[in-house]
């Protein structure tokens, strides 16, 4: 008797349900604190659990008895020094995970009632939190490369490259898709044999099954069970050999690029790509788990406006 694997449908959360669950700032603060400390606050400076609560001590409602420093749930996270209410932070995280193609800073500023500049900074800090690593890939892994960038013919004549076709002026992106659902992508300096195979070694366990196309950069790949499809002759699927999973990710990324963001700066491209990677990886997870994962990624990270603009 044939058995069919049943994939459980993730539990979604409508905007109405979100507002019912988190109606005000107090509920948002409680959610952030429970996720970070699980009811037992500890000092982010020295790690001590000897903490006293100061109800009137806003914006730092806790004080460490050991190092005597004041702190809050924002301390030593990407939330640090932000004047935005945590309720708006939580809503922005929710919107990031519900918008499959992303949400622009202009749209987010309208939804949250903040300036576009603040929304842009907020967006990048959330993307920074979504850049957490999920370990080496294993099992069956699809690998592919793609390019992000506008067409040369649309550039100003002074910035246009000599060659106005193909990948001229575009940034190479390397992508991996493990067939259990995990996806990772990041900018890469080039698509020659050394760069591509180094990226594979750094991200995939030896002995895994790797599926690629017929790009010459994958020639002679060792330590892996390597199979490839020849797109150049019209071959896209041969039994289990294909790269359709990672190519569907490219499709979504480029739809977001064209339809939502319109432009992704090379300086910030790694964060944009990580945003799409994280969302693609967690697409089968419950919405509340996606939000919790992003909050976890905020801890121990900082991203200042000066860093973004440098």
- For residues 80 and 74, the answer to whether their CB atoms sit within 8 Å is yes
Mean pLDDT of the chain: 91
- For residues 227 and 209, the answer to whether their CB atoms sit within 8 Å is yes
pLDDT digits (tens, 9 = 90+) for 194-233: 999 999 999 999 999 999 999 999 999 999 999 999 988 8
Cβ neighbour number for residue 239 with a 10 Å cutoff? 6
Closest to 172 in 3D by CA, of 274, 309, 310, 270: 270
Report whether the peptide linkage leading into residue 29 is cis, meaning its omega lies within 30 degrees of zero: no
- What per-residue confidence (pLDDT) applies to 152? 58
How far is it, in rounded angstroms, from Cα 299 to Cα 71? Answer: 14
In the CATH hierarchy, which top-level class contains the domain 140-263? alpha beta
Cα 166 to the center of its chain, rounded Å: 27
Q: Is the dihedral of CA 273, 278, 284, 287 positive or negative?
A: negative
Burial category of 307 from C-beta neighbours within 10 Å (exposed 0-12, middle 13-18, buried 19 and up): exposed
- For residues 217 and 193, the answer to whether their CB atoms sit within 8 Å is yes
Q: Largest Cα–Cα distance in the chain? A: 70
Structure tokens at 193: 């044999």
Q: Which residues contact 22 (CB under 8 A, 6 or more apart)?
A: 28, 31, 87, 90, 91
pLDDT digits (tens, 9 = 90+) for 162-194: 444 467 778 999 999 999 889 999 999 999 999
- For residues 204 and 136, the answer to whether their CB atoms sit within 8 Å is yes
9 pLDDT tier (thresholds 50, 70, 90): confident
- What per-residue confidence (pLDDT) applies to 4? 47
How far is it, in rounded angstroms, from Cα 221 to Cα 218? Answer: 6
- What per-residue confidence (pLDDT) applies to 155? 58
- For residues 99 and 288, the answer to whether their CB atoms sit within 8 Å is no
Closest to 144 in 3D by CA, of 173, 178, 101, 179: 173
Q: How confident is the model over 69-77, as a mean pLDDT?
A: 96
The residue written with tokens 């990677």 in the block is 277
- What per-residue confidence (pLDDT) applies to 149? 81
How far is it, in rounded angstroms, from Cα 250 to Cα 253? Answer: 5
Give me the residue spans of the domains in the chain. Answer: 13-41+78-129+265-310, 43-76, 140-263
Q: Is the pLDDT of residue 153 over 70?
A: no
- What per-residue confidence (pLDDT) applies to 266? 92
- For residues 231 and 214, the answer to whether their CB atoms sit within 8 Å is yes
The strand ranges marked E within 180-274 are 183-187, 209-212, 225-228
Task: Compute CA distances 104 → 108, 123, 210, whole Å.
Answer: 6, 8, 35
How far is it, in rounded angstroms, from Cα 29 to Cα 131? Answer: 23
């Amino acid at each position: 008797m044939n058995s069919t694997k049943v994939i459980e449908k993730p539990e979604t959360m409508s905007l109405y349900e979100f507002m019912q669950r988190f109606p005000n700032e107090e509920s948002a603060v409680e959610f952030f604190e429970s996720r970070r400390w699980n009811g037992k606050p500890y000092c982010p400076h020295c790690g001590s659990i000897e903490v006293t609560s100061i109800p009137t001590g806003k914006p730092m409602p806790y004080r460490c008895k050991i190092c005597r420093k004041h702190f809050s749930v924002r301390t030593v996270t990407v939330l640090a020094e932000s004047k935005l209410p945590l309720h708006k932070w939580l809503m922005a995280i929710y919107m990031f995970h519900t918008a499959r193609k992303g949400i622009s800073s202009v749209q987010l500023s309208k939804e949250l009632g903040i300036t576009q500049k603040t929304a842009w900074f907020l967006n990048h800090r959330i993307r920074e939190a979504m850049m957490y690593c999920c370990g080496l890939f294993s099992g069956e892994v699809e690998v592919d490369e793609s390019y992000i960038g506008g067409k040369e013919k649309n550039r100003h004549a002074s910035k246009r490259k000599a060659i106005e076709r193909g990948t001229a002026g575009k940034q190479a992106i390397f992508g991996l898709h493990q067939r259990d659902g995990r996806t990772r992508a990041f900018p890469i300096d080039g698509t020659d044999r050394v760069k591509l195979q180094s990226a594979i070694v750094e991200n995939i366990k030896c002995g895994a099954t790797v599926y690629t196309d017929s790009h010459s950069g994958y020639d002679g790949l060792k330590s892996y069970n390597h199979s490839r499809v020849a797109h150049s002759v019209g071959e896209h699927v041969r039994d289990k050999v294909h790269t359709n999973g990672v190519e569907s990710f490219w499709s979504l990324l480029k739809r977001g690029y064209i339809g939502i963001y319109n432009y992704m700066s090379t300086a910030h491209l790694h964060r944009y790509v990580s945003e799409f990677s994280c969302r693609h990886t967690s697409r089968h997870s419950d919405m509340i788990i996606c939000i919790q994962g992003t909050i976890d990624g905020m801890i121990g990270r900082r991203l200042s406006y000066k860093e973004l603009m440098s």
